[in-house]
């Protein structure tokens, strides 16, 4: 591996040339890592709905050609100038949001919104020199979320790379680099349900089911799953979801249905759909006086959240979170250890697996609502 350090690597990457068109496996040149960057050999990556939104570019700004992907596991191949925390051979999880460890957010116990490395969905270049590290015949291919994991090799800022236990199976813990931690943290770090409380989860994909898992380990007694895809319900029982509501089965708004079955509303709700109407329902379905709703879904760029202010006056709280409020570098290794100690289960989130050459199938499974997580094997 060290042989390529400082040199361009030519490898396969799945390039999104145009919105909504199948990705194309291309030979891509990957430049060596620059100051505070690392080059990583990706071994496994998986598809999150956020990749699909930016590939469709219906409700998001189009940035093409681009290498998508942000949920992955890999091994450091080489490091750039100034990198002391990582070395070739380290097992790592890239994260779409980072930790500079110096800004007010990184110093605050409450925030993971690093000034330097927080999520930026429209930037397609590296921070150091505003250039891309990917090219095909000299023509730049843009980055995505600073991670671009749909490539055999990628270059990432060191502050967005968590070093983990080398014994952790990367084909499982890769889903902790986004989906699992996002949903689980949204519940345990942000919604913080009390033992015996009721929690509604909107959207029962991998993120929502990880949120349900957070409710289960917090000792919630009722976990109400809300989804418009009824095929999710059977699967969700494995994640501790105790009741189901399909908004399509009811004439009245789902928040009213939930208020009726819970005597006034749930104690907590976590929204994991990306649909703004579901976000509003998730807020309005929490109990007045103490209810807390947490938004996780990535909204359409023109979405507007509308609710009557009295819903707040009646002592409901609305919050939002990226990456479940985990600090990616400081907290992720510990979450991986919880899996290693069998305190967390990841296998049940992994419903499909495909070789890299069939990456487009992962998009089909997600668009049809068939998959939770589809692992893409790079070799």
Q: Are 156 and 30 in contact (CB under 8 A)?
A: no
Neighbour-count burial of 5, counting CB atoms closer than 10 A to its CB (0-12 exposed, 13-18 middle, 19+ buried): middle
Tokens of 187: 């519940």
Among 242, 275, 307, 360, binds ligand NAD (CB under 6 A): 275
Outline where DSSP puts E strands in 247-286.
268-271
Does 103 contact ligand NAD by CB under 6 A?
no
CB atoms within 10 A of CB 279: 25
The size of the interface with ligand NAD (CB under 6 A), counted in residues, is 34
Binding window for ligand NAD (CB under 6 A); candidates: 154-162, 191-199, 223-231, 340-348? 223-231
Q: What, of Zn ion, ligand NAD, none, does residue 291 touch, CB below 5 to 8 Å by kind?
A: none
Among 11, 36, 48, 162, binds Zn ion (CB under 5 A): 48
When asked if residue 182 is in the footprint of ligand NAD (CB under 6 A), the reply is: yes
Q: Mark whether 114 is an active-site residue.
A: yes
Of positions 32, 73, 159, 205, contacts ligand NAD by CB under 6 A: 205
Give the integer Cα–Cα distance in Å for 103 and 105. 5
273 sits near ligand NAD (criterion: CB under 6 A): yes
374 binds Zn ion (CB under 5 A): no
Phi first, then psi, for residue 315 (nearest 5°) are: 70, 45
Beta carbon nearer to Zn ion, 134 or 144: 144
> Which residue from 24, 21, 20 is spatially nearest to 12, judged by alpha carbons?
24
Contact 295, 271 (CB under 8 A): yes
- d(CA 208, CA 55) in angstroms, rounded, equals 21
- Total number of residues binding Zn ion (CB under 5 A)? 3
Q: Tell me: does residue 350 bind ligand NAD (CB under 6 A).
A: no
Out of Zn ion, ligand NAD, none, what residue 202 binds, judged by CB under 5 to 8 A for its kind, is ligand NAD
Distance from C-alpha of 44 to C-alpha of 35, rounded to nearest angstrom: 26
Among residues 76, 147, 192, which one has the least CA distance to residue 328? 147
Q: Does 178 bind Zn ion (CB under 5 A)?
A: yes
Are the C-beta atoms of 185 and 324 separated by less than 8 Å?
yes
Positions annotated as catalytic residues are 48-50, 70-71, 100, 103, 106, 114, 118, 178, 373
Binding residues (CB under 6 A) for ligand NAD: these are 48-50, 53, 178-179, 182, 202-208, 226-229, 232, 247, 272-275, 277-278, 296-298, 321-323, 366, 369
Binding residues (CB under 5 A) for Zn ion: these are 48, 50, 178
């Amino acid at each position: 591996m060290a042989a390529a350090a400082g040199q361009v690597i030519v490898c396969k990457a799945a390039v999104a040339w145009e919105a909504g068109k199948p990705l194309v496996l291309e030979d891509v040149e990957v430049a060596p890592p620059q100051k505070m960057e690392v080059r990583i050999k990706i071994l496994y990556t998986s598809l999150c709905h956020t990749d699909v939104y930016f590939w469709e570019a219906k409700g998001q700004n189009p940035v093409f050609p681009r290498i998508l992907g942000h949920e992955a596991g890999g091994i450091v191949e080489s490091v750039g100038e100034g990198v002391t925390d990582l070395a070739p051979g380290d097992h790592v999880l890239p994260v779409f949001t980072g930790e500079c460890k110096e800004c007010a957010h990184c110093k605050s116990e409450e925030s993971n919104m690093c000034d330097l490395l927080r999520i930026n969905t429209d930037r397609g270049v590296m921070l150091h020199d505003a250039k891309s590290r990917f090219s095909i015949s000299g023509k730049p291919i843009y980055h995505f979320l600073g991670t671009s994991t749909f490539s055999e090799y990628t270059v990432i800022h060191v502050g967005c790379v968590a070093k983990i236990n080398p014994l952790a199976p990367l084909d499982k813990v890769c889903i902790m680099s986004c989906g699992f931690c996002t949903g689980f943290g949204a519940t345990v770090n942000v919604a913080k349900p009390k033992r015996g409380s009721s929690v509604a989860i909107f959207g029962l994909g991998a993120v929502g089911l990880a949120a349900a898992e957070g409710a289960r380990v917090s000792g919630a007694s009722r976990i109400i799953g809300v989804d418009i895809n009824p095929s999710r319900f059977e699967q969700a029982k494995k994640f501790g979801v105790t009741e189901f509501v399909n908004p399509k089965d009811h004439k009245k708004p789902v928040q009213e249905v939930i208020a009726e079955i819970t005597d006034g509303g749930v104690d907590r709700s976590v929204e994991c759909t990306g649909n703004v109407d579901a976000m509003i329902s998730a807020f309005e379905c929490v109990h007045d006086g103490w209810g807390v709703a947490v938004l996780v879904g990535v909204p359409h760029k023109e979405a507007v959240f509308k609710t009557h202010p009295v819903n707040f006056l009646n002592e409901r709280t609305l919050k939002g979170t990226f990456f479940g409020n985990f600090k990616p570098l400081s907290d992720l290794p510990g979450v991986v250890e919880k899996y290693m100690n069998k305190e967390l289960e990841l296998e049940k989130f992994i419903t499909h697996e495909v070789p890299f050459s069939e990456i487009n199938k992962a998009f089909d499974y997600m668009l049809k609502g068939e998959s939770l997580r589809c692992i893409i094997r790079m070799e």
